[in-house]
Amino acid sequence: MPEPDQSTLARRKDIIAAMRDIVPNEGGVIVDEDQLRPYECDGLMAYRQLPMIVVLPENTGQVAAILKYCHTHKIRVVPRGAGTGLSGGALPMADAITISMMKFNRVLDIDWDNRAVVVQPGVTNLGITRAVEHKGFYYAPDPSSQIACSIGGNIAENSGGVHSLKYGLTTNNVLGVEMVTIEGEILRVGGKGPDQSGYDLLGVITGSEGLLGIVTEVTVRILRKPETARALLLGFNSSEEGGNCVARIIADGIIPGGLEMMDAPAIKATEDFVHAGYPLDVEALLLVELDGPKVEVDYLIERVGAIARECGAVYSRISESEDERLLFWSGRKNAFPAIGRISPDYICMDGTIPRRRLAEVLTGMQVLSQRHGLRVANVFHAGDGNLHPLIMFDANQPGELERAEAFGADILKLCVEVGGVLSGEHGIGVEKRDLMPEMFTEDDMKHQERLKLAFDEDELLNPGKVFPTLHGCGELKTLHAREVADKFPDIPRF
């Protein structure tokens, strides 16, 4: 992380006083070490740092005033939602104010006619569905953390979930945001209609990991809950066959509501934990959910079953009741805690690959597992090619955390090598920022930084995240268009 700025630290008292002026509410400014402690990390608990102070504003005006103050006095800011992020995006800094958005917890407007809901960013992902389910609607993106994570954090990470294959990621379901820039300006981007003017700022704000501004209001679209959902469990003797089956289903024009896969270690761990009735003698287990009108679901279940047989499925079960469907899911949904039971610690990686390279990547992971001497289990969003390898280790054994991290980095490099990317849904944060050069050239990264500089010239918002450490935007500011020769002889002219 960037070195703490001593002059900021020296001004801590003044800063606290200024924050108390802006947010006079009880508990709005946290300064005591024991009360700061809960904020020292997000879901990536290997990295910890106490924030300088934590501020909990309650309205957009307060956010604007805080940011304006920080901009004027050159104080760094770390935005924070529910702190469930898995890439360290909300990791505090010793010289920065952490702004927690969790007091922004109201649903502001449910517009049934436009199928749009306006909420404050601290509302949880599931909270949106809860607000609209009595009329048969729901909010589609469903990260496994949906009970806890905030919609503001979802926007910052462009979060996805099981439903993303069919219904898209956060970016496809957000209609508009209100956002405060580091200069304290309030931007409204998008709205209840599909179009915005100018460049697609809504598109770049989504997934920007708190580096462009603080989101203070969100408009999302809601969908009608499908009439029926049914699931199939399909077992295969190899991950190759499982992977082929995924490709065949999709190439056939069937886009399931969920299409998840688990490898043998993950199947075993979850079956021991939740007893979902998973077969233990298969190498790959697919969980396919079809949703829609009952006639459609019944029809597609047949077709998927037939495709699975052609792909060599050795196990096949179809849910006959809602309870059974939920039982099928219980294993997948509990995969993380199940791994937690068989290993003192684990880290969850997150890369995406072209679907057809799946078997190859899984084999590669086994080789790496032996090389690093650590176990790995795989549960993933097979339909999108989004992998979540769970690397098991024991933090109490000297060197194991480092080995786990090195293993994780090797897996991500492998993903990039086969044409994939470093993150499918958890973001880069601090966790993967030094791997960015695996995917991007200097010039690629400079263009990303130029976007950042258009919003935040002094790099006060969430510094140290996303961009490799030795790669601040600073030097860009003096960069001038390079002079070039005025000849390009080999291009045809007319």
Partner 1 sequence: MTEVISPATPEQLREAISWALGSKTPLEIIGSGSKKTYGHSVAADHVLDLSKLSGIMFYEPEELVMSVRAGTSLAEIHALLSDKNQQFHFEPGNFPGLLADGVTDHAGTIGGLVASNLSGPRRIKVGAARDHLLGFEAISGRAEDFKSGGRVMKNVTGFDLSKLMAGSFGTLGVMHTITMKVMPRDEKTRTVLIACDDIESAGRAMTRAMGSENEVSAAAWIAREQVGMLGVDIATGIGAGIVALRLEGPAPSVAWRCEALRKLLADIGTSEELHSTNSHVFWRSVADVAPFAGGAGILWRVSAAPASGGAIASKLAAETGGKVMMDWAGAQIWLQLAGRDAMADKVRDIAVSYDARAVLVRAPEDIRNQMSVFHAEDAALARINARIRENFDPEGILNPGRIGQMLTKQGDA
Ligand X SMILES: Cc1cc2nc3c(=O)[nH]c(=O)nc-3n(C[C@H](O)[C@H](O)[C@@H](O)COP(=O)(O)OP(=O)(O)OC[C@H]3O[C@@H](n4cnc5c(N)ncnc54)[C@H](O)[C@@H]3O)c2cc1C
- The residue ranges that bind ligand X (CB under 6 A) are 42-43, 79-86, 89-90, 101, 121, 143-145, 149-150, 152-154, 156-157, 159-161, 209-210, 214-215, 336, 425-426, 462
Q: Is 384 in the site for partner 1 (CB under 8 A)?
A: yes
- Give residue 351's Cα distance to chain centre: 11
492 makes contact, choosing from partner 1, ligand X, none, with CB < 5 to 8 Å by partner type, with partner 1
Q: Could you tell me which stretch among 60-68, 261-269, 279-287, 417-425 binds partner 1 (CB under 8 A)?
A: 417-425
CA atoms of 68 and 53, how far apart (whole Å): 17
Residue-level length of the chain:
494
**Which range touches partner 1 (CB under 8 A), out of 206-214, 270-278, 341-349, 391-399?**
206-214
Q: Which is nearer to partner 1, 13 or 480 (CB)?
A: 480
In contact, 48 and 40? CB cutoff 8 Å:
yes
Task: Say which amino acid occupies 411.
Answer: I
Q: Site for partner 1 (CB under 8 A): which residue of 42, 157, 263, 431?
A: 157
**Residues whose CB falls within 8 Å of the CB of residue 181, separated by 6 or more in sequence, listed in order:** 67, 187, 212, 213, 455, 456
- 198 or 399: CB nearest partner 1: 198
Beta bridge partners of 390: 348, 377
Residue with smallest beta-carbon separation from ligand X = 153
* Whole-angstrom distance, CA of residue 266 vs CA of residue 437: 31
281 binding partner (options partner 1, ligand X, none; Cβ < 5 to 8 Å by kind): none
Is 447 an interacting residue with respect to partner 1 (CB under 8 A)?
Answer: yes
Q: Determine, following the binding rule CB under 8 A, whether residue 306 of this chain makes contact with partner 1.
A: no
Residue among 305, 170, 141 nearest 230 (CA): 305
Q: Which two tokens stand for residue 493?
A: 């002219």
Q: Which does 84 bind (CB under 5 to 8 A by kind): partner 1, ligand X, none?
A: ligand X
**CB of 147 vs partner 1, minimal distance in Å:** 21
- Distance (Å, rounded) from C-alpha 421 to C-alpha 492? 36
What is the distance between the alpha carbons of residues 48 and 254, in angstroms, rounded to a whole number?
44
Of residues 235 and 408, the one with the C-beta less far from ligand X = 408
Select 43 or 351, whichever has its Cβ closest to ligand X. Answer: 43
Does 108 contact partner 1 by CB under 8 A?
no
Judged by beta carbon, residue 372 or residue 452, the one nearer ligand X is 452
251 binding partner 1? (CB under 8 A) = yes
Identified binder of partner 1 from the candidate list 373, 419, 437, 474, rule CB under 8 A:
419
**Which is nearer to ligand X, 101 or 318 (by Cβ)?**
101
Give the contacts of 246 (CB within 8 A, at least 6 positions apart). 259, 261, 286, 355, 358, 382, 383
The residue among 211 and 338 lying less far from partner 1, judged by its C-beta, is 211
Query: Which one of residues 9, 147, 199, 469 is an interface residue with partner 1 (CB under 8 A)?
Result: 199
CA atoms within 13 A on the CB side of 245: 35
Among 253, 321, 398, 478, binds partner 1 (CB under 8 A): 253
Cα–Cα dist 77/75, whole Å = 7
Query: Nearest-CA neighbor of 352 among 420, 408, 412, 440?
Result: 420
Sites for partner 1 among residues 112-131 (CB under 8 A)? 112-116
